[in-house]
Amino acid sequence: MQFLFLLEQVVNGLVLGGYYLLIALGLSLIFSVGGVVNLAHGAFYAFGAYVSLEIAKHTGFGPSIVLSPVAVGLLGVLFERFLLRRFYTADPILSLLVTFGLAMVAEQLIRMIWGAAPLSASMPPGFKGQLMFGDFMFSRYRLLLLAVVAGVLAAIWLLLHKTAFGRVVRAGIQRPDMVAALGIRLQPYMTAIVVLGVGMAALGGALFAPITVVHPAMGAEIITVAFVVVVIGGLGSFWGVVLAALLVGVVRGITIHFAPAAGEASMYVLMFLVLMFRPRGLLGERIEKFE
């Protein structure tokens, strides 16, 4: 029985990992291509949640999940064109400071527009409740969430590995100078990557709004986990981030099963261990421009 309970936690952790993945993958992509540590990534997650609530007032839940990431993605275009672009070749500490500042500005902006009190968000009643598979309990809504994440993941993988766009991006990660020498401007690709990454964060926010507290600091809450996932997974590796996100979810679930008070600390211990034995992360590739 005890073993079954543990297994249930593992499966639940995998589901949770899928949600971390949505935030972490964008963060990883933006860093891999542009070399920018985007500390404002959490802000786009928060915007995603808030904007989806605004849209849901007019269109209902379903369309808001689609429209909010699109709207926030457009915001991402401005973010890339007017801010991020200036820092691709600059000292990384500068982009760190700028995006950190932006994260704070965004949080205060949300406070100004929507107030500091958390907003109420609900899902359609049909999604509420549990599904039982044998002895395993799942939240119906989270299974839906998992399906969305799997779809997004497959789309991103196909985009990166099966299209001309993906080939340029992957080449740009490894040898931007060579790509430039071949006469390809990386800039429009970078805009696309930022829009994609930011949009995924917004999708995460919109999807999680009904089951978590929608409040101004929600971005700061998620950014730490996303970073831990990216660091554990290793930069430049699609599957590294996937593996790390699932691992973090599972380790957290198992830890809470045995020692609940240590639940939140478990992912940092995991990061510590991974960095000790694999400083580049689980599946991190050697990226010349970062060495």
126 contacts other proteins (rule: CB under 8 A): no
Nearer to other proteins, 125 or 183 (CB): 125
Whether 225 contacts 23, CB under 8 Å: yes
**Which token pair is 218?**
């929600």
119 contacts other proteins (rule: CB under 8 A): yes
Torsion sign (Cα): 135, 139, 140, 144 = negative
Report the distance separating Cα 217 and Cα 43, nearest Å.
8
56 contacts other proteins (rule: CB under 8 A): no
Report the distance separating Cα 7 and Cα 254, nearest Å.
9
41 contacts other proteins (rule: CB under 8 A): no
77 contacts other proteins (rule: CB under 8 A): no
116 contacts other proteins (rule: CB under 8 A): yes
Q: Which of 83, 85, 109, 139 binds other proteins (CB under 8 A)?
A: 139
Q: Which of 21, 48, 186, 215 binds other proteins (CB under 8 A)?
A: 215
- Report DSSP state, residue 120: P
114 contacts other proteins (rule: CB under 8 A): no
216 contacts other proteins (rule: CB under 8 A): yes
3-state SS class at 137: strand
212 contacts other proteins (rule: CB under 8 A): yes
User: Torsion over CA of 167, 185, 239 and 219, rounded to 10 degrees?
Assistant: -150
Q: Which of 59, 148, 257, 290 binds other proteins (CB under 8 A)?
A: 257
Helix axes 218-233, 92-114, angle to 10 degrees: 150
3-state SS class at 4: helix
Q: Which of 125, 126, 134, 183 binds other proteins (CB under 8 A)?
A: 125
Q: Which residues bind other proteins (CB under 8 A)?
A: 5, 8-9, 12-13, 15-16, 115-123, 125, 128-130, 137, 139, 141-142, 210-218, 221-222, 252-253, 256-257, 260-261, 263-264
